[in-house]
Structure 1
Amino acid sequence: MSAVELAGLRKSYADVTVLDDFSLRANQGELVTLLGPSGCGKTTTLRCIAGLERAERGEIRIGERLVACPERRVFLPPNRRDIGMVFQSYALWPHMTVFGNVAYPLRVRRRDRRERQRAVMEILAMVGMDSYAHRPVTELSGGQQQRVALARAMVARPAVLLFDEPLSNLDAKLRRSMRREIRDAHDRSGGTSIYVTHDQEEAITLSDRVVVIRGGKIQQVGTPKEIYTKPATRFVADFIGFENLLTATVSEARDGSTAVKLTSGAGPVWTSKGITRAPGTEVVLAARADELEIGSPGSPGEAPAAAIPGVIRSRTYAGGRVEYLVEAAGAQVVVRAPEAGAAGSTLEAGSDAWVRFPVDAAVLVDDDNAERAPQAAEQTVESVPLRGAT
């Protein structure tokens, strides 16, 4: 078993606390992504697991083995933790060939020469770099160097693979290609992988579970679909790409749906997704720009029920779709619609328009300042079995 368990980790630098009572379990065979903005603690968490940083408090287990616990004076060095790590900078040795870089972990483990030769060529073939085995790494492109770093991390078949934003230096097209290769590499390994990124698209497409982190604390844990469609808080919704976050107040709840009125008094807007709160509670209405509807008051037919009137402030072409910035109900609302416009009309900047939130598009989330937000995050984490957590 190569599950990774963190219980009550605390890590500080001088007077800045980076991780605060951080607890999580990555199960055997899972690819778990730590997602959050720069400085949130995700890379520090990875480095603590690897043994490159020491936490002041808490436990780290890899499989059944306790690898770090300051209270019990336990700390295994990185070379005894059975891990492979891919760094953001790749960290390849420039004086070595591709073969030499990939063979290095096996040399450290004192594998014999013939075994090293076989294992290195097998893993290079897996990542499509076997024909470059004897080329200096300094003569490789960024994507090729990334493949070499991946091969080096995997060659000794470690129980745990750790990825520290390995694709951030690549162009968009190559990043998409390498995501598939990393996912395939994880599936072939049969072990546990923990992946760090600030890119929500990477997290959604790669992971079995996503852990959203803010200020050293877990905000939400869930499957990619849960995180994408049911964010728990305003911060999570904003970070994973909900362009519209509007303060509202619950006015009615019935039959599994909730009605809210926006701060301006516009509404009601009905939604069947997200949190359920009592009437009078302040919440946040979150919606993606692609899921909203827009039209012109002058187009054939009447505006649909519950449409909110507004004025188009800008109109931007977005590759087959048009992005509108609409001032509606005292808020700025972003809508992306087919290029032909809505209801057969052409919507231009400065013209009147209406915006509608379909009932299955908007999601109600807690505001980050609400007392319930941290409690919701704690409940999500506690649903995962933790060893030694209090």
Structure 2
Amino acid sequence: GGFRFYGETDLPLYLDLNLPENRKKLGFSDADSQALAAVDFYQLRMRSGQQASCLNLYKPTEPRVLGVPDRMLTRGGFGFTKTAAESPAEHENPWTLLQRSATIDAEGVLHVPAIVDDATAKYSFHLWKGVGEHIDLAAADGRIVRLEIVGLLANSIFQGDVLIAEQSFKRAFPDVGGYRVILAECSDADAEIVQQTCERVLGDYGLAFQSCRDRLAAFFAVQNTYLSTFQMIGGLGLLLGTFGLIAVQLRNVLERRGELAMMRAVGFSPKRLAQMVLWENARLLFSGLLGGIVAAVVAVAPHLVEGRAELAFGAVVPSLAGVVIVGFIAGWIAVRAVASIDLQTALRRE
């Protein structure tokens, strides 16, 4: 999204950090304020709730809600996998979807447009359709606030959060005041001094800045752990399948040794029989590979179409090559078994 830091405070801030007079009131010295002059701060309201990112294994019922200021809605940024945009302006900047008016229906339910991270919507809230679905929350006064999803973010720093416009936030949760989430936009050269200055002066508020790259890396680390686990299980299945292929090919040769011996007796050379067995094994091997590849492509096709995934040829090609090599080794073992058939014994049994 173009931000350098993501920060949260334990206590809410009520002043705009972009104004020098406000920074002075919060305890920033003139030198500190000067160091932050080129920094653009975006402060978001926060209603505390359950962790809804991939760090939580359970389905949250009361997720955390963030109120996004108009400045940030106008700024735009971040990628989207799907939106409910209708007008050209909404297509150009889907954040403006949050500026749609919140409405109250006949039952007293407040309908508020919301944006959620794509992974959070699908894997935490189990909202597989995403756009058009909703999350119901209970406000402090007991009324229902229905957060209607109008956009899905692609791999964002807001995993686990539900984002709504600040005006809608104040209407839905009037009991929550101040700002507890701070986004800082600055150059890499100023990053270290900005982090040190803000955390030192706002330490009493419990501010902790985190690089947006580190925050994304933490989310991806959890997802990659899940993927690695399933990849290991898949690798184990592939290994067992490979040994199974060897066993099937050997058993096939042993069960057909009478037939193969008869073919040798009527004039088929050992080389010709070996070629036949090898061709049969190769056909079985490549048919299985083709079926597996087609099934895998069908499984990942929706993610490829939506741009949320890409093919890892560096990992797939060596795996497929390994299967082919092991398959041919198994075929070679079967061919050796054909060559070692005792003609007289096999014919006597036949």
Instruction: Please report the TM-score for the alignment, with normalisation by the length of structure 2.
Output: 0.21
Which is bigger in relative contact order (C-alpha 8 A, separation at least 6)? 2
The structure richer in strand per residue is 1
Greater share of helix: 2
TM-score (norm. length: structure 1): 0.20
